[in-house]
Amino acid sequence: MERRFVAIAATAIVVFVVLAPLDAQQPSLPRTADGKPDMNGVFSTAEGGGRREPISFQPWAKEKHDAYVARKLADNPTARCLSPGLISLTTVNFFPIQFVQTRGQMVILYEWDHFFRVIPTDGRKQTDDPDPLQSLGHSVGRWDGDTLVVDVIGFSDYTWIDNNAGVHSDALHVVERFRMIDKDTIEYRAVLEDPKAWTKPWNVVATLKRRPPTDALMEYNCAENNKPDDFPSDDKLLK
Amino acid sequence: MRTYTRAMKTIGIAVCIALAITASVQGHHSFAAEFDGSKIQTITGNVVEFQWMNPHAYLIVDVTDGAGKTVRWGIQSRNLSILKRQGLSKQTFKPGETITVELFHHHDPAKNVGFARYIQKTDGTKYDVIPGGRGGIVPPNP
């Protein structure tokens, strides 16, 4: 009896110690006027790419993925200056991103080829009709304590969701969690599901670190000086 | 008629120069499709041209081989914002100066083409142009 009590008490202490800080509001964080963690600023991952396991593809997607790999990734959409997709844009280490946070809205600017997202956080629901499909989908955010949770649907299917031929479909559904750990650090977690192309969810974890105050976003213009001849022509691309 | 011939000759030369310059500006392709991430090579030579431009900077370098023959290399680098953050500018490399480049070689061993990894000046200044991509890790696009 006594042993069982000790076990229950120990479990309770572990649960309290491990889980309580996740929900608690951290007093040390900088905050905006509406009390949210102030994420304004320029960030990038230090390591690049974040932590990720391989994607579990359904057979048709695996076949496509393998064919792209066999062609040494020559069909990568970014080689034609097309969208790198949500995960690469966010977790790349050499193109910073900037959070511009206002009441009811988070804007994320990506240095990589001028991409941006406007994420409403004003309580609206996700759209029932994500039309048109977009390379970065349709985002709706909400604050869960100190974590910004973003739901994204309505993706066009041509992007590689990771840089290594991450084939996906237009059924891709992403839930991102941006949690500010301290004034200079945001933990990024994303859970991606694709019932048409994958067999199980794919998880990404990355750490975004604040860049030095002098480090403003610059312009990376992929198309400038690129000539049509420079791109793999359509007939040479794997469909 | 003579004027016409001279004009044609001038245009011909101009077209040849334009083609030569264009040829030195390589395309924007997938790194993995073009370069061998495991084949690292170091070359030392004289800068012919430092092309500071989007989407990537390029270095044209003349290297004298063991037989005393000059071989021209085309070396791709990163985009300008990355290079700027690593301390480079359009003034960093002047025509004629000697540099040493550690590079990933093109898949085709016959091509004198590479993707820069480190670039070093004779005064010892060494630029890491694949920040975070050390240890033979193939840099992702772009």
Please name each of the domains of chain B with its CATH number.
28-128 (2.40.50.140)
Mean pLDDT of chain B: 80
Q: B114 and B45 in contact (C-beta within 8 Å)?
A: no
Mean pLDDT of chain A: 87
Local structure of residue A208 (DSSP, 8 states): E
Alpha-carbon distance A175 to B97, whole Å?
52
Rg of chain A's alpha carbons, rounded to an integer?
Answer: 20
Q: Pick B24 or A239 by higher pLDDT.
A: A239
CA distance A106 to chain B (A): 24
pLDDT given for residue B132 in this prediction: 64
- The DSSP annotation for chain B comes to -HHHHHHHHHHHHHHHHHHHHHHHS-----HHHHEEEEEEEEEEEEEEEEE--SS--EEEEEEE-TTS-EEEEEEE---HHHHHHTT--TTSS-TT-EEEEEEEEESSTTS-EEEEEEEEETTS-EEESSTT--TTPPPPP-
- The pair phi, psi for residue B6, each rounded to 5°, is -60, -40
Chain B contacts of A218, Cβ < 8 Å? 80-81, 84
Neighbours of B118 (CB within 10 A): 16
ipTM score? 0.77
A76/B133 touch (CB, cutoff 8 Å), yes or no: no
pLDDT given for residue A28 in this prediction: 86
Least CB–CB distance from A224: residue in B55, B132, B140? B55
Q: Pick B30 or B67 by higher pLDDT.
A: B67
| Helices and strands counted in chain A (H then E) | 3, 10
What's the token pair of residue A166? Answer: 């991450």
Mean pLDDT is highest, among A22-31, B77-86, B126-135, for B77-86
B140/A49 touch (CB, cutoff 8 Å), yes or no: yes
Mean pLDDT is highest, among A79-88, A129-138, A223-232, for A129-138
A74/B30 touch (CB, cutoff 8 Å), yes or no: yes
Alpha-carbon distance B140 to B142, whole Å?
6
- The DSSP annotation for A16-27 comes to HHHHHHHHSPPT
Local structure of residue A228 (DSSP, 8 states): G
Local structure of residue A55 (DSSP, 8 states): P
Alpha-carbon distance A163 to A115, whole Å?
17
Q: Which of A77-81, A125-129, A152-156, B86-90 has the lowest mean pLDDT?
A: A77-81
Structurally, at CATH architecture level, domain A30-236 sits in Beta Barrel (2.40)
Chain B contacts of A71, Cβ < 8 Å? 33
Does B29 score more than 70 pLDDT?
no
In chain A, what are the domain boundaries?
Answer: 30-236
B30/A84 touch (CB, cutoff 8 Å), yes or no: no
CA distance A128 to chain B (A): 34
Residues of A near B (Cβ–Cβ under 8 Å) read: 46-49, 71-76, 78-79, 81, 84, 88, 92-95, 111, 163, 215, 218-227, 229-232
A220/B80 touch (CB, cutoff 8 Å), yes or no: yes
pTM: 0.80
Does A59 score more than 80 pLDDT?
yes
What's the token pair of residue A67? Answer: 């064919």
What's the token pair of residue A185? Answer: 């650090």
pLDDT given for residue A231 in this prediction: 52
pLDDT given for residue B2 in this prediction: 54
What's the token pair of residue B27? Answer: 């395309």
CA distance A187 to chain B (A): 19
* Tens digits of residue pLDDT in A148-189: 999 999 999 999 998 889 999 999 999 999 999 999 999 999
